[in-house]
Structures are given as structure tokens and as C-alpha cells.
Structure 1
Amino acid sequence: MSTGTTPPESAGTVVVGAGCVGCSAAYHLAEQGREDVVVLDRGPLFETGGSTSHAPGLVYQTNGGKLMTELAAYTRELYTDLDSYRTSGGIEVAYTEDRWKFLKRKYEWGQSYGLDGGELLSPAEIEERVPQIDSTVIHGGYHLPTDGKAHAVDASRKMAERAQEVGHEFYGDTLVTDVETSDGAVQAVVTENGRIECDELLVATNIWGPLFGDMVDTDIPLVPCSHQYLVSEPLDELAGAEREIEQPLLRHQDYSEYFRQHGDSYGVGSYNHEPLLVDPEDIYGPEKLDDLGLEYPSLREFAAEHFYENTHPDHDESAYDAARELVPAFDGVEWETEMNGMFCFTPDGMPILGPDEETDGLWWSLAIWVTQSGGVGSVIAEWMDEGVPRLDGERVNADPAHISRFQPHAGSREFTYGRGAQQYQEVYQLIHPREQPEDQRALRRSPFYDRQDDLGAEFYDTNGWEVPQWYETNESLLSEYEVPDRPDWLARNWSKAQGVEHQAVRDRVAMFDMTTFTGIEIAGEGTMEFLQRLLTNDMDCPVGRMRYAAMLNEDGGILADLTVARLDRDRYLLTTGGGNSATLHSRWIREHAPESLSITVHDSSRSGVGVWGPEARELLGPLVEADLSNDEFPFYAVQETYLESLPVTMLRLSYAGELGWEIYTPTEYGARLWDTVWEAGQEHGIVPMGWEALASTSLEKGYRLWGTDVTPEYTPDEAGIGFAVDTDTEFIGKEALLAAREAGVDRKLTPLTLDASGMVVDSGHPILDGEDVIGYGCRAGYGYSIDAGIVYSYLPTEYADAGTSLDVRYEGERYAATVRDEPLFDPEMERMRG
């Protein structure tokens, strides 16, 4: 293996970072057949001094998100094959009743995402496996036998050795000082030991990622943080612990701690202190490291006050007090090892993966723990080599980690450090999915914000937007509409106003803020031909009409489902969601569009309202110059017209499944648009409607939601939108889609309703046939119009027939459910076409 300090003058691909992430990427590129790869690191190989060097290597596979669970499971398998993984099992204990209920849900996530062998343990059963704990202070735990410890440095070395067999070269003690670009593409990597011309560069430096972003003018929203790890002196309780069965890893998440065995000593890792953020500039150049006198640049001096004093803003005990309560042997113990080790967080806690948007040939693979490192290497290598992210050759939804998910404000230091600190603080906290951050709020507000605030809007942060989820003023209508109660966890951060709004839009008329929806306007000679190649449906529709279409990657996976309106012969308007869907989808479109076309992304330049419900036509008719009759303005039509004095684009469709229009206008007209519709709507009993009601109304109608039930993991046929595919046209992903059809569709997105009246469950929980897990709920909620809980799941086709009886497991209970035909509400679409 090359261990010198003089790298070659050129290479096809350069990887910066020889920790477990960079080495995994190199190993998988070798598996893809890549030979001309050079891997660099500022430190020695392979104990480079980054997070890989000091990480305790705990691999807890179960995660609330499918992607992170799959990456961890792959990492376990890979490192086991490399003989760099010890299977010990992992236990997460519940100190509170809330945590015990949470662990029941987490156990079910493991079942949903394919992890075998998970079990819920009593306190006594945990003590049998970890005798030194005090089992009287816990309620139970979740145990996954295949969790364990990865030896990250050893795995890095072995992956590098295998990559070297096909010609990869590795150079340590090689500090990168610059990245050269020209004409929007990578040209070379400059090091203290020479310049390397290259076609591709993968940055896999984790805590130093923002410094490389500075070299190429790319914002990398990532902040290094330090947390504490200590190893005790030998404990009597572990004397003779050199036994065949190693103790399971242990997590005490209610106090942000974890534990692992070191022979007859015991280690404790603690996040139980205030966030300790580090500037990457302070830990990169050797001149900044020599004065620290520490073994690795990713270490800080141990800060005893953060262990023995309570500095965590959400806890009531210090790390030491919490640790010795669970493990009494720690009382008065001496510590053989004490350190503050560094790792990093992004504003949403997810990795940063994918190709740079502005610089061709530049790739990022950052903010990754040892837990997911092996799997990330597989994904990024396939992405670099084949143009599509895959995990072990299979389609995967990498969108939650895509670098283009970030919005413009995420590049600011204030936002990155503020939200990064929050992610650190909450990494082990019991955070409700609907709990909202308090820091960095009200960054993006629609022109309606003040009006909505006056109506008691409950705002959620959505990629910086303040988005109303429901309106407290609608609770006054509970005497008219019946809304079932919810069980404790699902009732938190929720209001019965959502059920009121759902039923009111079916009963009268509602208005919904569409400002966060993004319009992508494409114009110029050849627009129709371009869209024909980009989208699955026939785009040669008449001017003034719309089509529903999917946008696929080369694997036939769904990148987006879009409403496409033809405004003129060579001018189309594509509508997608807001925030990260807007940036991801518009990027794909720009990258594939010819330079001759004009592409305008209306992500903030327009505002809009949806006016939906049986009385929508009566409300809007007197206000709009256009004739709103069915003959003149039929369903799935579009017109540019005026609403009183306001220029508007009106689309006749409704994601709620009701008669109505989406109405868009330039942002400066937005406040007037809201006021005009609101005032005219008073005689019709208009109600403001939030996102929770839109979610439940669309769920009843079976309308797909990007990011949950429509993702790149699935084809249109699997997702039940094959009707939006015209195989007489040529489009990206067609070959793969036809091949999948030829092989046969073996799973299908399918609705189930819970048999118990008033019952509702959350998404992510397993669907059972007997004891067999056959799917999981990718989307779930309550259908107030059909008065039933709804779960959508990708089921094997043999289970997808209406009337099939199955079960849904939620918080340890089984709930009978029945497969249904879709749509569940208004199957003839009489309401929307009325």
C-alpha cells in the first residue's frame, strides 16, 4: 500500500479522507471496477486523527428513518465480512414510561425496516445480560441481537487493502490546501506534497467538510461538536469478564448516555452536557494542532465540569450522577481514559451526500457516523459510477441526505451552528415528530402570515417556512363536527381543529395557503419536446390543459410527481412542493434542460391560495373575470386571468379532492388576494385550512405524497401511478421501467383501514399476516369523511386485493385492518368535477 507522501500528478478520481467513509467509498468504487483512484489524508494511514480514530464504534441499527436503518444494517454486514465487527447486541433502556412506549415503537420500526431478532426485555432480563446495572430504575428495554461494535480503523485498513488490489493508491500525511476548478468543473487537488489533476473529487472529511466548501464556494451546513467518553478502572462487577459472550451495548437515552464493555472496565459516552461546538478552521492546519498536545486533531481536552456538573439544558442530573444511578459500580470510580471526542451535525441531523450543484465532478460524503459508514460508501460509489444512488445494487431513497435539500439560509453560520447545536442537544432526546424547534424561526413567511397568526395558526417550521398546520379559531366549530379523541402520543402537538377543517372543506369551502408550493416555469422553442423526454406522460396536451406526470431517474425510480400546465405553445408550468422538494426537483430539471430554454423557479416570487369545497365556484365566480363553469373551465384546466384587480394563474384541481382552484399571484399581490377571498367567503362560512387537514383529505383520496409514499425507491407501477406513464413517448427511466414491468410487479402501494372505530396509528409500523411482517405503513392518518384510520403500505401483490384481513402493530398492540380499493373517498370523482 502506498504510504509515502508524494502522490501522483494525475488520477481519475481523488478521495480526500481515509477514514471509514472515504475507505468505504474507495472499496466500493473498486467493486464497481474503478482503478484510477487516489485516496489522501492529512493524517497517517489509517488512524488518521479524524472521528474514525477515536469513535467507540457502536452500531445501533434501528432508526426512525428507513434510509439510516438500511445503511447501518449494510455496514454491519460489510464489517462482519471484513472481520472488523463484534456482534454483542445492543440494548436501549427506558428510564421513563414515555421512553418505554417509545421503545415499543422503535422495536416496530426495526421490524418494518427488515431487522430480525429484535425483542422487548423486562428489567430483570436486561440485568441478566448486564449484571452491573440497577434494574429497579428502568421500565424495560429494546434489544437487537445483531447490534455491536465496529473497529473502524481496522475496517478502513482492510477496505483500503482490497481497493489497492485493483490499483487504488493511498497517501497519508498529505494535507490538501486547495481545490482548483475551471469552467464549472474540478481540475485538480492541491496538496502540500504536490498537485493532482483529476476528473472527480470526493470529499469525505466529515468535521473538515466546511473548509473544502470554502475552497469551491459551496455552503456545507455542518458543525463539529465534541462529546465525552470515559473508560473506568477495572470493576469488581466485571472481573473475569473475558468470557465467550460479550455484554450487549447499552444506551441510557433519557440522560443522553451510552455504555460499552472494555474487558473488565466499563466505558460511558455522554452527550449529557451543553453543546460544545468547534470551528473546523481551528483543527485543520498543523500549526493549529501542535499547541494542543492531543493525540488526534479530533480530540479536545476533557472538560470535567461537563461530566460532574449538569450543563445540559434539558436534564436535571449530571452525566456522572445519571451514570452511577444506572451503574452503581461507577460510584467513586477512577477513570483510566477521559476525552472529549469530535464528530459533526447538520441542521437536520442527516448526512450530506451527492454531487455538488455548481461544480461538475465534485462529490460530498459528510456528517456520517461509523454506524452508517459502510452503507454510505456503497451508495456514493454507485451514484458516482452509475449516476443513480443505490445500496448494494438496489434502488434506495437518498433524498433525505441529498446535499441539494438545503435551502439558501442553511448556508449561514448562524443557522448551521444554531440548528447543529440543537441536533446535538436532542440526539438522544425523546422528541415528538411534531415538536418544533424554537431557534432560527420565522425566516420565511408568506404574505398571509399576519392574517394567519390572527386566526390562531399553529405554525410549523418547514425548510424555513412558517406553515400553518391548523387554526385554533376552528375549534369553535367542534359543536358542528365530530372529531374522535387520539391516544396520548398521537394527541400531542395536535388539535381537533384539524378534523374540523377536514370536514369543513368537504361541507362548505376552505382556503389554504399555497405559497410554499413551487412553480417551475419553462419556456422557449422546444419546451414540449424537452418535457416529453423528462416526464412520463404525454406532454403534447392542448394549451390551457394540465397533465399529471412522474419524473424518473435512470433506474425507473420516482424523483417527483408533478402537475404540468401548458400555458402557451412553448410555455409550461410545473408545480411541485416547497422547500427541499423544490430545490431537488428544480436542480434535476435544470441539469437536463438545453441551454436554449428559460427556467424560472417561483420558490418565493409568487404566493397562492387554494379555494376548495362545494361552494368554491359560488365564492370565486363574482370575483374572477374568467367563466368558472364546467364548460369554460373544466377540471384539470388552467387559465391566466384576473381576480378583481389581481393578475392570477388559476389551476382547476384540488389536492384535498374537492371542487376548487389553486390561485397564484406575484408575491406583492398576495396580501390583497387573501383579504379578497377571505372577505368574500364570509357569507359561505369559509374556514382557513392547515396542512394537517390537507394531509388527511389527500390520504382519503389516495393522492400521493412525495417523500413518504412516492420516492426513488419505487416505480410508478409499484406506487399506483402507472396511469401517468405513456410508453409511446421516450423518457428518462423508460428502459428500466419496462424491464421492471417485464419482470413483474411484486409489490403495490395499497390502502388499509383499521377495523376499530376511531383508532389511528402513525406511519412506520409493521403490517402483519400472522407473525410475518409483510410491509409497513409509509403514510397513515385518520379519514374523517370515511370515519376510519387509514394506513398506506407497499404490500406484496398477493395481499393487495380488497377485503384481505391483516394487522397493524402499534405500541405493542395488534389492530385488525382490512385492505381496501382506492380511492376511499369519492371514487367517481364527482365532487372535483362538479
Structure 2
Amino acid sequence: MSTGNTIPDSAGTVVVGAGCVGCSAAYHLTELGREDVVVLDQGPLFETGGSTSHAPGLVFQTGGCKLMTRMASYTRELYETLDGFRTCGGIEVATTEDRWDYLQRKRERGQSYGVEGGELLSPAEVAERIPQIDADTIHGGYYVPTDGKAHAVDASAAMAERARAAGAEFYGQTTVTDLETAGGEIQTVVTDRGRIAADEVLVATNIWGPLFGDMVGVDIPLVPCAHQYLVSDELAALAGADREIEQPLLRHQDQSLYFRQHGELYGIGSYNHEPLLVDPADIYGPEKLADLGLEYPSLREFTAEHFVENTHPDHDQSAADAAAELVPSLRDAEFESAINGMFCFTPDGMPILGPTEDIDGLWWALAIWVTQSGGAGNIVAHWMEDGVPRLDGERVDATPAHISRFQPHAGSREYTRGRGAQQYREVYQLIHPREQPADQRELRRSPFYERQAELGAAFYDSGGWEMPQWYESNEALLEEYDVPDRPDWLDRGWSKAQGVEHQAVRDRVAMVDMTTFTGIEVTGEGACEFLQGLLTNDVDVSPGRMRYTAMCNRDGGVLADLTVSRLADDRYMVFTGGGNSATLHSRWIREHAPDDGSVSVTAHDSSRCGVGVFGPDARNVLAPLVEAELSNDAFPFYTARETYLESLPVTMLRLSYAGELGWEIYTPMEYGARLWERIEDAGEAHGIVPMGWAALDSTSMEKGFRLWGTDLTPEFNPYEAGIGFAVDLETDFVGKEALLESREAGIDRKITPITLDEPGELVDAGHPVFDPDSGDVLGDVVRADYGYTIDAGIAYAVLPATAAEAGREVEIGYENERHPATVRDEPLFDPNRKKLLR
């Protein structure tokens, strides 16, 4: 392995960071055929001094989403082949009823995502496997026998050895001091031992990621945090323990603790203290490292007060007391070692993967724990080599980790540290999906915000935007509309106003804030030809017409679903959704635009606002206000007009995500307040209601409309996702070849609607669908809500094509119960489109 004094002066690929992520990426790149790979690290190989060096290596496979779970399972499988993994099982215990209910749901999530063998244990069964715990303090545990411990340094060395055998070179004690770019491309990696000209660079430095961002002027929203790890002296409960037969890992998430056996010793990991944030600039470079006087730069002196005192803002016990309550023999234990070890968090707790937008050849793989390290390296290697993210050769939805998901404000130090600290506090907390962050709010507000607040809007954070989910003012209509109760977990952070708004849009009219929807304007003499080669549908239509289309990667995975309006021969408006869609989708369009000046791409992500007016009375509300004729003949479905609403210049689209008659109306931001006022005033005579996104979501499910990020992701192609009608194979577009191959081979899975048989019943996404006869898992629920018009719970699920026939009986697992359900044809509501076309 190359560790000499001379580094090469050029390389095809330079990986910065020889921890488990960098070594995984290098190994997988060589597996894919790359030979000219050089890996650098400021520390010695392979105990480099980063987070890999001190990581406890816990691999609990069942993560919070499919991506994290799949990466963890791949990591386990890979590290087992490297002798860098010990299978001992993992148990998460519950000391509260809430946590026990959560573990039941988590087990089902594991079943959905392919984690095999997971089971729920009684307190006595947990104690059989971990005898030193006090079984009287717990309700039970979730046990996965294939979980275990990765030895991250050994795994890194083994992956590096395989990469070296394929031609890769590794150099330790080499500090990168700069990344040089020119003409929008990476050029050179500058080190304290020389310069390396490089075609591509992958930054896999984890806690030091922001420093490398500073080198090239790229914001990397990541903050290092320290947490505590202690190893006890010999415990009587572990006396004579066989090192070849290890107890399962133990997580006590109710008190932000985890435990692992070290022979007769016991390790305690604690997040049960206030966030201890670190500036990466304080711990990088030879001079800084010499000053620290610690074994690794990723360590801090152990701060005993954070272990013996309660400093965590959400707990009522110190880490020491909570650990001793669960494991009584720890109460009188001495500790052989204790550290504050660093890792890092992003504002949303997810990794950072992918290429830099404005610098060709510069890649990132950051904020990754050992748990997902093997899988993350595999994904980014495929991405670099093949142009699309894949995991073990299969399509994967890496969108939740994409570097371009961050919005402009995420680069600020205040935002990154504020949200990073929150992620640290909550890493083991029981956080409801609807629970909203309190810090760093009200950053982006539509012109309607103040009026929405008056109406009792429940605001959710969507890419920094404050977006209403429902309006408390609509609860006054509960005497008019029946809304079934929800079970405890699904009722939290929810209001029956959603059900009211859902039903009101069906029989009167509603107005919805569409400001987060982003219009991407594509203009120029080459606009039509460009979009024809990028989008799956034929958009060479006459001005004023619209098309619904998909945008795919070269594997045929759906990157976005879009509405495309041709406003003139040389001008199109492409509309995408909210959240991170503005940055992700506009980036893809910009990157594929020709550089000959024939096309201009402008994302109106903050310059325009919008209101959707949907429902049977939508035309009656708008007709007196709008200069354009709104009849079916003059303004038919799926057409667009630039016109005026009184004095306001507006772009109107005749479509409705709610599945009703309606228009989306967009105007420059400065006109927004007036737009809302005039529509609200005109709608008063028709009983108009403000409608939040929760009701828009549930109405769209009844209509069979897909939602980007749930039942529409790069994991699926358009045929699997049920939007094959938006593919015109007479045109040539990115991903066409893959779709042709898929169509010829036949679709073996599809997104399918299911309704629960019992009225009023509801489940959640991430839960398994079972065959009621065999008990086998057929697929997983990707989106769920209640259909108030059809009076049934709805679940959209990924099912084998052979199991997706309408009328088939299935069961959905939820909180350790099986709920009878039936596969349905779609749409569930208005199949003849009479509502849309009236």
C-alpha cells in the first residue's frame, strides 16, 4: 500500500479521506473498473484520526427511511465479507408506552424495507439475551438478529487492500490544503507534499467537509458534534464472558443511550447531554493537531459533567443515572476509558452525497456514520462512474441525501449550527413526523402569511417556506362535515380541519397557497428542441397548451413530474413542486441545457407566488375577476393563459391537483397580497374556504395523482409509478433506452392503490402489505391518508405486478395488527374526469 514520501502528480480520481466512507468509495470505484484512483488522508492509514477511528461501529439496520435502511443492510453484507463485522444482533428497548408502540411500527418498517428476522421481545426475552438489564424497567424490545458491530478501521483497511489490488494508491500523513478549480472544473488537489492534477475529486472527510467547501466557495451545511463514549471496568454480570459469543447491541433511546459489550467490560454511548458543537477549523491541519494533544483530532477531553449531570434539554435524568437504572451493575462501576468523540449532523440529519452543481468533477460523501458507510460508498461510486446513483447495481432514491436539496439559507452558520444542534438533541428522540422545528423558522413567507396566521394556519417548514397544512378556522364547519377520529399516534399534530377542507373543496370552493411551486422558465429558439430531448412527453404543442410529463435519469428513474406550459413558440413555463424541488429539478434542467446560447433557463423560486382555486364554484368565483374567458370552450382543461385578474398580471393554468374544476394562478410576489384578498373577497358569497396542503394531499390520493418524494421517486420508472401515460416513445429523451428495455421485459412491480376495508381505519406509510394466506410480505406502503369522499383509508403501495390486480384481498401491518384491505383500480374518485372537465 502506497505510504511513501512521493505522491503522484496526476490521477484520474482523488478521494480525500481514508476513513470507512472514502475507502468504501475507492473500493467500489475500482470494482467498477477504475484503476487510476488515489486516496489521501491527513492522518496515518487507516486509523486516520477521524470519526472512523473511534466509532463504536453499531450497525442497527432499521433506519428512519428506506434509503438509510438499505445502505445499512448493504454495509452489513459488505463488511461481513471483509471480516470487519461481528453479527451479534441488536435490541432497542422501550421504557414508555409511546416507545413500545413506536418499536412495533419500527419492526414493520424493517419488514417493509427488507430487514429480515426482526421480532418483538417481551421484557423477559430481552433479559435472556442481555442478563444485566433490569427487565422491570422496560415494556419490551425490537430485536434484529443480523444487526451487529462493524470494526470500522479494519473494514477500511480491508476495502483499501482490495482497491489497491485493482490499482488504487493510498497516502497517509498528507494534508490537503486547497482544491483548485478553473473554468467550472476541478483541476488540482494541493497538499503539503505536492500537487495532484485530477479529473475528479471526491471529498469524504466527514467532520471537515465545510473546510473543503470553503476552498471552492460551496456551502456545506454540516456541523461537527461531540458525544460521549465510556468503557467500564469489569462488570460482575459479564464475568467470564466468552468473547466469541457477544451479547446483542442495546439501545435505550428513551434516554439517548446505547450500550455494547467489550468482553467483561461494558461500553456506554451517550447523546444525553447538551449539544457540544465544534468548529472544524479548530481541528484540521498539522499545527492544529499538534496543539490538541489528544490521540485523534476527532476527540475532545471527556467532560464528566455531561455524564453525571442532566444537561440534555429534553431529559429529566443524567446519562449516568439513566444508564444505571437500566443496567444496575453500572451504578458502582468505574470507567476504564471515557471520551468525547466527534461525528456530524446536517440540518435535516441526512448525509450529503453527489456532485457540485457549478464545478464539474467535484463530488461529496459526508455526514455518514459507519452504519451506512459501505452503502454510501457504493452509491457514490456508481454515481461517479455511471452517471446515476445505484445501490448494489439497482435504482435507488438518493434524493433525501442529494447535496442540492439544501435551500440558499442552509449555507449560513446560524442555520447550520441551529438545526445541527437540534438534530443532535433529537437523534434518539421520539419525534412525530408532523412535529415541526421551533428554531430557524419564518425564513420564507408568502405575501399571504399574515392573513393565513389570522385564519389559524398550522404552518409546516418546507424548504424554509411557511406552508399551511390546515386552518383551525375551518373547525367551525365540523357541524356540516363528518370527520372520523384517528388513533393516538396518527392523531397527533393533526386537525379535523383537514377532513373539513377535503370535503369542502368537493362541494363548494377552496383556495390554496401554491407559492412553493416553482416555475422554471425555458426560453430561446432552441427551447422546444431542448425540452423534447429532456422530458418524456411530447411538448411540441401549440402555444397555450400544457403537458404533464416526467423527467428521468438515464436509468429511467423518475426525477420529477412536471406540468409544462407553452406560452409562446420560444417560451415555456415548467412547473415543479415545493420543498427541495426548486433546487433539484431546476439544476437538472440547467445542467442539460445547451451551452450555445439557444436556451435560457430561469427558476422563479422566490419571485412569484400563487393561489389555487379549486372546486365546483371555482369558475363562479374567478369569472368576475379575470379578463380571460373561463368557459370550457375558451379555456379548456390543461391550457394556460397570461391574463389579468383585475389589475394584477397573472399566469393561469387550468388544472387542479385536488381533482376538481380549478385553476392555479401565479403572479409576481409584490402582487400577492392583493391576489389573495380579491379571491377571498369574491369567494365569500360561494362559501370559499382556505385549504391547506394536508387536504390537497388527501384529495389528490383519491384522484390517483402522484406526489413527488413518496409514490414518485427515482427508485421507480414511469411505468412502475403508474404514469406511463406521460411517456411518448415517439420522442427521444434522457432515459428512453432504459424505458424501452423495461417495457419489453415487462413490469414486475407497480405503485397500486389499496383501500382499508373498515371505514374510519387508517395506516401510515412505511408499513408492510401482507398476503393474508401465506403471511408473506408483498410490498410496502409508500403513501397513506384518509379518503373523506370515498370514506375509506387509502394506501398506495409497491406491489408485485402479479399481486396488483383489483379486488385482491391483502392485509396491512400497523402497530402489530393486520388490517384487512383490498387492491383497487384507480382513480378511486371521478374516474371519468367529469369533475375536472365541467
Classify the TM-score, shorter chain.
Answer: over 0.9
What is the deviation of 1:244? 4.4
Query: What whole-Å deviation, never above 9, does each CA across 1:456-500 have from its counterpart, x for those lacking one?
Result: 101011110000010000000000000000000000000000000
The answer on whether the counterparts of 1:224 and 1:279 sit within 8 Å (CA) in structure 2 is yes
Alignment of 1:263-342 (within 5 A): 263-342=263-342
Alignment of 1:534-683 (within 5 A): 534-595=534-595, 596=597, 597-683=599-685
Any gaps of 5 or more consecutive residues in structure 2? Answer: none
Residue 439 (structure 1) aligned with residue 443 (structure 2): no
What is the deviation of 1:6? 2.3
Query: What whole-Å deviation, never above 9, does each CA across 1:57-109 have from its counterpart, x for those lacking one?
Result: 00000012000000000000000011110000000000100000000000000
Moved more, 624-633 or 740-749: 740-749
Alignment-mate amino acid for residue 151 of structure 1: H
What is the deviation of 1:243? 5.4
* Aligned counterpart, 2:734: 732
* Aligned counterpart, 2:687: 685
Question: How far, CA to CA, are the matches of 1:672 and 1:96 in structure 2?
Answer: 50
Query: What whole-Å deviation, never above 9, does each CA across 1:654-710 have from its counterpart, x for those lacking one?
Result: 000000100000000000000000001100000000010001000111100001100
* Aligned counterpart, 2:811: 807
Moved more, 730-739 or 573-582: 573-582
Alignment-mate amino acid for residue 789 of structure 1: G
Question: How far, CA to CA, are the matches of 1:559 and 1:140 in structure 2?
Answer: 41
What is the deviation of 1:725? 0.6
* Aligned counterpart, 2:752: 750
Alignment of 1:90-239 (within 5 A): 90-239=90-239
Q: Percent identity?
A: 75
Question: How far, CA to CA, are the matches of 1:800 and 1:160 in structure 2?
Answer: 45
What is the deviation of 1:516? 0.6
Q: Secondary structure at the match of 2:214?
A: helix
* Aligned counterpart, 1:18: 18
Moved more, 242-251 or 155-164: 242-251
Question: How far, CA to CA, are the matches of 1:807 and 1:513 in structure 2?
Answer: 36
Question: How far, CA to CA, are the matches of 1:774 and 1:345 in structure 2?
Answer: 35
What is the deviation of 1:579? 2.7
Question: How far, CA to CA, are the matches of 2:558 and 2:824 in structure 1?
Answer: 24
Question: How far, CA to CA, are the matches of 1:297 and 1:265 in structure 2?
Answer: 25
The answer on whether the counterparts of 1:5 and 1:173 sit within 8 Å (CA) in structure 2 is no
Question: How far, CA to CA, are the matches of 1:245 and 1:153 in structure 2?
Answer: 21
Q: Secondary structure at the match of 1:5?
A: coil
Q: Secondary structure at the match of 1:534?
A: coil
* Aligned counterpart, 2:377: 377
The answer on whether the counterparts of 1:546 and 1:637 sit within 8 Å (CA) in structure 2 is yes
Q: Secondary structure at the match of 1:56?
A: coil
Residue 81 (structure 1) aligned with residue 81 (structure 2): yes
* Aligned counterpart, 2:471: 471
Residue 524 (structure 1) aligned with residue 528 (structure 2): no
Question: How far, CA to CA, are the matches of 2:807 and 2:242 in structure 1?
Answer: 56
Question: How far, CA to CA, are the matches of 1:695 and 1:555 in structure 2?
Answer: 28
Q: Secondary structure at the match of 1:623?
A: coil
Residue 30 (structure 1) aligned with residue 34 (structure 2): no
Q: Secondary structure at the match of 2:374?
A: helix
Alignment-mate amino acid for residue 804 of structure 2: A
Question: How far, CA to CA, are the matches of 1:242 and 1:472 in structure 2?
Answer: 60
* Aligned counterpart, 2:702: 700
Moved more, 295-304 or 797-806: 797-806
The answer on whether the counterparts of 1:578 and 1:603 sit within 8 Å (CA) in structure 2 is no
Q: Secondary structure at the match of 1:537?
A: coil
TM-score by length of 1: 1.00
TM-score by length of 2: 0.99
Question: How far, CA to CA, are the matches of 1:321 and 1:5 in structure 2?
Answer: 51
Q: Secondary structure at the match of 2:221?
A: coil
Alignment-mate amino acid for residue 818 of structure 2: R
Q: Secondary structure at the match of 1:740?
A: helix
Q: Secondary structure at the match of 1:831?
A: helix
Alignment-mate amino acid for residue 128 of structure 1: E
Q: Secondary structure at the match of 1:594?
A: coil
What is the deviation of 1:291? 2.5
Question: How far, CA to CA, are the matches of 1:8 and 1:291 in structure 2?
Answer: 30
Q: In the alignment, which of 773, 778, 785 is matched to residue 774 of structure 1?
A: 778
Query: What whole-Å deviation, never above 9, does each CA across 1:394-451 have from its counterpart, x for those lacking one?
Result: 0000000000000000000000000000000000000000001000000000000001
Question: How far, CA to CA, are the matches of 1:444 and 1:472 in structure 2?
Answer: 22
Alignment-mate amino acid for residue 305 of structure 2: E
What is the deviation of 1:600? 1.2
* Aligned counterpart, 2:39: 39
What is the deviation of 1:192? 0.3
Alignment-mate amino acid for residue 291 of structure 1: D
Alignment-mate amino acid for residue 332 of structure 1: D
Q: Secondary structure at the match of 2:533?
A: helix
Residue 827 (structure 1) aligned with residue 809 (structure 2): no
Any gaps of 5 or more consecutive residues in structure 1? Answer: none
Question: How far, CA to CA, are the matches of 2:207 and 2:389 in structure 1?
Answer: 23
Alignment-mate amino acid for residue 284 of structure 1: Y
The answer on whether the counterparts of 1:257 and 1:270 sit within 8 Å (CA) in structure 2 is yes
* Aligned counterpart, 1:796: 800
Question: How far, CA to CA, are the matches of 1:86 and 1:166 in structure 2?
Answer: 26
Q: Secondary structure at the match of 1:781?
A: strand
Q: Secondary structure at the match of 1:164?
A: helix
The answer on whether the counterparts of 1:5 and 1:172 sit within 8 Å (CA) in structure 2 is no
Query: What whole-Å deviation, never above 9, does each CA across 1:609-650 have from its counterpart, x for those lacking one?
Result: 000000000110010000000000000010000000000000
Q: Secondary structure at the match of 1:467?
A: strand
What is the deviation of 1:288? 1.6
* Aligned counterpart, 1:721: 723
What is the deviation of 1:799? 1.1
Question: How far, CA to CA, are the matches of 2:648 and 2:306 in structure 1?
Answer: 59
Q: Secondary structure at the match of 1:622?
A: coil
Query: What whole-Å deviation, never above 9, does each CA across 1:685-742 have from its counterpart, x for those lacking one?
Result: 0000001000100011110000110011101110111111111110110001111111
Query: What whole-Å deviation, never above 9, does each CA across 1:154-186 have from its counterpart, x for those lacking one?
Result: 010011011111211000000000011111111
The answer on whether the counterparts of 1:610 and 1:660 sit within 8 Å (CA) in structure 2 is yes
Question: How far, CA to CA, are the matches of 2:59 and 2:267 in structure 1?
Answer: 15
Question: How far, CA to CA, are the matches of 1:244 and 1:528 in structure 2?
Answer: 66
Q: Secondary structure at the match of 2:267?
A: strand
The answer on whether the counterparts of 1:36 and 1:167 sit within 8 Å (CA) in structure 2 is yes
Residue 818 (structure 1) aligned with residue 822 (structure 2): yes
Question: How far, CA to CA, are the matches of 1:833 and 1:7 in structure 2?
Answer: 68
Q: Secondary structure at the match of 2:277?
A: coil
Q: Secondary structure at the match of 2:92?
A: strand
Alignment-mate amino acid for residue 89 of structure 2: G
Q: Secondary structure at the match of 2:110?
A: helix
